[in-house]
Amino acid sequence: MPPPGQPPLARAKAIALRQLASRMRTEAQVRARLARDGLEAEADETVAWLRRLGYLDDAAYARARARSLVAGGRLGPRMAERRLVGEGIGAGEARGAVAAALAGEAGEDPRAAELVLCRALAERRARGRPLADLDAAGRRRLSRFLLGRGFSGAVVARALGVYEDQDG
């Protein structure tokens, strides 16, 4: 905690550095933390200072966070994008970071990688039972789970063997 009587800018910088010491943050997250302490007026200067030092980089944050969100099929691309946007990343930048993470995850194009990750998560969720052996109710439950994780309907249907796209 900064010592009492410290100038507001010094307090803002100390708070921001302490916040960044634990993990990467977005500019929006740093600004929100400063606002919580009544230091909105110092936010612009503090954020600019952090950028000059290389401690604050939303693009790097988006790439790293997207990789961790889609790793091993934890989340599908839609949910990962929503999480990034909720953390202060722009929608276009979030979409690009997730697409790059998907391509890097399976070494393929993002659509094929999404299918690979969706199948992996479906198989884990089925706990060793072959997906083809699921009854209609089990398939519906698994579909709802996968859709809720942010996978597209077409990818979920392909992963569960409901149908195969002619073009992909």
| Dihedrals phi, psi of 29, to nearest 5 degrees | -65, -40
**Could you tell me the pLDDT band of residue 168, with boundaries at 50, 70 and 90?**
very low
Residue 160 is encoded by which pair of tokens?
Answer: 């569960």
Separation of alpha carbons 1 and 126, rounded Å: 48
Separation of alpha carbons 168 and 166, rounded Å: 6
- Which of 13-17, 103-107, 135-139 has the least mean pLDDT? 103-107
pLDDT digits (tens, 9 = 90+) for 96-109: 999 888 887 555 67
Listed by start position, the domains of the chain span 8-56, 59-108, 111-159
The predicted pLDDT at position 53 comes to: 94
Question: How far is C-alpha 33 from the chain's CA centre?
Answer: 20
Better-scored residue on pLDDT, 121 or 165: 121
The predicted pLDDT at position 126 comes to: 85
Residue 168 is encoded by which pair of tokens?
Answer: 């992909």
Q: Do 120 and 82 meet the contact criterion of CB atoms below 8 Å apart? A: no
The answer on pLDDT for 89 being more than 90 is yes
Residue 1 is encoded by which pair of tokens?
Answer: 């905690």
Full-model pTM: 0.79
How many percent of the chain have pLDDT more than 90?
60
